[in-house]
Amino acid sequence: MNKRKLSMPKTELAKIKDEASRWVILNEKGLTPKQEREFSEWLKLNPKHGEHYARHKSYWSDMDRLAGLQLYFKKNVDPDLLEDEVLPHTKKRRIKPLITAIAGLAACLLIVFSISYFRLDRSLVEPTLADEFKIERIQKLELEDDSTVFLNRSASIVTRYSSKERLVILNSGEAHFEVTKDFKRPFIVDVQGVKIRAVGTAFNVHYDYNKVDVFVTEGTIAVQSPKTKTNQATKESIVEINQQVIVSLDHKKPKLEVNTLQEKQIEDMLLWKPQLIDFQNTPLVQIIDEFNRRNDIQIIIQDPDIGDIRISSVFWSDNLGGFVRLLEARFGIVARNRDNQVITLSRS
């Protein structure tokens, strides 16, 4: 048999590689329930899909630790590095090819970095104020039923799964749930007696002292207010996609209010979820504005001229610690952390 007939056409192989690369990036960002289903179907279509996905995932992990290198390499190698007139004659032939090879390697790395996405999770150099920036990251948890929950800073949950239900207790803060369908076991989030019931959907819950704020990004949920002071149960309210429900925690007279949200409102309310943000030759002041939009912890520039520094790189929106360590290491900026609430930047 002709072996060439068994080989995969180059166009089909290239398509699989492109799709695998796309799924790696989407998984890094976090898949929606719809994307989870599409990803699962894609893996089932062809054994090669899983093989190339795993390979690209490995590439990503290897490159991840090199994030930010594009800020350190010069685009053009200094010609003096290739000058060998001052070298002894016996060393000319060995050193010049070596230096040329190193320069070529640096150029190749630059090409790779220019077309790849990276997380800046680890600094390439020792930070000068590393201990100041142990800033908590947004957590992404995979639950035992393959549901996913993103926990905003200071949020905490407890899971209590049984054969009849999947119960998650939100003790504090804000969380976004992407629920795997299981018609036999409803998914229930309990916040101070407020019950949010779903089968397979996506929704956001924010517990804020005397109220619970819930909005739906996919599917439908049912929300029940806590029992009244007389221990009287309340009826469930159905909340659909793009709707918000605000539940008062006044146990004397629980109040449930349903509103319809615009897509822009939902987008703004989910800015806290980690995303890759790409900057190309962007002034630092604009980059900081984008970080401040997406985080409760705010960055303040104390020396105005710092804001004119231009940076080209890709960052995770919640990685404030890695971002400011890069500024310290690369640009000689002094960053100070005030109780993990405010970060100030000034010249050294």
Query: What's the rounded Cα separation, in Å, for the pair 263 and 220?
Result: 16
Quick one: pLDDT at residue 253?
Answer: 64
Among 311, 313, 316, residue whose Cα is nearest residue 284: 311
Tens of pLDDT along 124-147?
A: 333 344 445 678 889 999 999 999
Q: Is residue 47 within a helix (H) or strand (E), and if so which, with residue range? A: helix 47-64
Percentage of residues in the chain having pLDDT higher than 90: 44
Give the distance between the most distant pair of CA atoms in the chain. Answer: 97
pLDDT, one tens digit per residue, over 306-326 is: 999 999 888 899 999 889 888
Q: Which residue has the higher pLDDT, 207 or 77?
A: 207
The whole-model pTM stands at: 0.63
CB proximity list for 85: less than 8 A, separation 6 or greater: none
Q: Where are the domains of the chain?
A: 8-64, 69-114, 130-135+274-347, 139-269
236-251 pLDDT, tens per residue?
A: 889 999 999 999 887 6
Nearest by Cα to 18 from 30, 28, 10, 29? 10
Report the C-alpha gap between 94 and 92 in whole angstroms.
6
The mean per-residue pLDDT over the stretch 108-128 comes to: 38
Cα–Cα dist 318/310, whole Å = 20
In the predicted model, is pLDDT for residue 217 greater than 70?
Answer: yes
Residues 6+ apart with CB under 8 A from 196: 188, 189, 190, 203, 205, 214, 221, 222, 223
Q: Do domains 130-135+274-347 and 139-269 have the same CATH topology?
A: no
Which three-class secondary structure state does DSSP give residue 175?
strand
Q: What is the pLDDT, as a whole number, of residue 133?
A: 63
CA 54 to chain centre: 20
Q: What is the pLDDT of residue 298?
A: 95
* 8 A C-beta contact, residue 177 and residue 170: no
User: Is the domain 130-135+274-347 a CATH 3.40.50.11810 member?
Assistant: no
Tell me the CATH number for domain 139-269.
2.60.120.1440
Residue pair 312/75 in contact (Cβ under 8 Å)? The answer is no
